[in-house]
Amino acid sequence: MLFFSKMEATANDFIIIDTIDNNFLYDIKLLSKYLCDRNRGIGADGVIFLYRSKIANFKMRIINKDGTEAEMCGNGIRCLAKYIHEKYLNDKKIFNIETLAGVKTVEILNNGKEVKIDMGRPIFSYKKIPVFYEDNKSIDIKIENDIYEFFPISMGNPHAICFRDNIEQIDLEKIGKIVENYKYFPNKTNVEFAQIINRNNIKLRVWERGVGETMSCGTGTTAAVIVANKKNLTDNEVNVELKGGKLKAIYDENAYLIGEARNVFEGKIDL
């Protein structure tokens, strides 16, 4: 019998498994594929496992629904931060969570309604992202009769950002799969299509590596805002409209992500 919490942040949904007081012996990648199955399991975009940490207040690991492990997840860490705050740290509004992309500082805002994440500094070096391409150059990918210009960046996990005038017309199922697995991205990549509304507002569609199109992506949101700011398309504080709702990203050397996180339900499942 496994106990879990189901949470969502701008409709990006996660299963939280708390291992702190449990003798947890499951293969987390196989378990995650089963739990994320929306027909036979619980259903989610990913599973977040909560652990004790030797270098921070807590530690998280996030497994995508296909069983691959992600370095970081902006929406997922907001969900986990809300869970931690309500279960373990009711009086503490600022604390740290260890991730594969480093230790992230989280802050609980508006009486627990919103969570602010210090996403750290972006990585522009193609060698570190990694990208097999000439550093600091955009990547043109021809798909059928169109050429898409992508800008690689990492927020601890890899992203490729493309700016288009009408992102709703994009066949994200087709293009997302091609770009995610393109030859220049040895670890695959997340793919974001951004539409500039004005200097403080953009729209975004997301194809997540190992997941597919999702309603929202926190690291993708910050990555898109940073690239837009670097290209002087927006200011450094931007509201981002996604299919699952709205987020705010701020870029000032470090990147910050602000948005809601919500408990959906708790339960237990036989394994």
The mean pLDDT value of the chain amounts to 96
Active site residues: 73, 217
Same domain, residue pair 84 and 143: no
**pLDDT of 16 over the 90 cut:** yes
Evaluate whether 223 touches 238 at the Cβ level (below 8 Å).
no
> Is 270 part of a structural domain of the chain?
no
Read off the CATH number of the domain in which 61 is found: 3.10.310.10
7-11, 90-94, 216-220: the lowest-pLDDT one: 90-94
Say how many domains are in the chain. 2
Res 123: pLDDT: 97
Nearest to 46 by CA among 173, 190, 187, 210: 210
Same domain, residue pair 93 and 154: no
Q: Which of 120, 155, 187 is the last residue of a domain?
A: 120
- Tens digits of per-residue pLDDT, 225-244? 999 999 999 999 999 999 99
Burial label, 66 (beta-carbon count in 10 A; 0-12, 13-18, 19+): middle
State the Cα–Cα distance between residues 73 and 263, nearest whole angstrom: 17
- Tens digits of per-residue pLDDT, 80-133? 999 999 999 878 999 999 999 999 999 999 988 999 999 999 999 999 999 999
> Is 259 part of a structural domain of the chain?
no
Res 24: pLDDT: 83
Evaluate whether 217 touches 186 at the Cβ level (below 8 Å).
no
Same domain, residue pair 69 and 153: no
Res 23: pLDDT: 79
- Tens digits of per-residue pLDDT, 31-41? 999 999 999 99
> Is 267 part of a structural domain of the chain?
no
> Is 185 part of a structural domain of the chain?
yes
Res 271: pLDDT: 84
* pLDDT class of 21 with cuts at 50, 70, 90: confident
**pLDDT of 65 over the 90 cut:** yes
Mean pLDDT across 242-253? 96
Cis peptide before 186 (omega within 30 of 0): no
Res 253: pLDDT: 86
**pLDDT of 22 over the 90 cut:** no
Same domain, residue pair 9 and 89: yes
Same domain, residue pair 101 and 51: yes
Same domain, residue pair 92 and 153: no
> Is 261 part of a structural domain of the chain?
no
- Tens digits of per-residue pLDDT, 164-217? 999 999 999 999 999 999 999 999 999 999 999 999 999 999 999 989 999 999
Nearest to 161 by CA among 194, 183, 129, 134: 194
Domain hosting 95: range is: 2-120
> Is 257 part of a structural domain of the chain?
no
Res 112: pLDDT: 87
Mean pLDDT across 54-79? 96
- pTM exceeds 0.85 for this model: yes
> Is 246 part of a structural domain of the chain?
yes
State the Cα–Cα distance between residues 6 and 19, nearest whole angstrom: 15
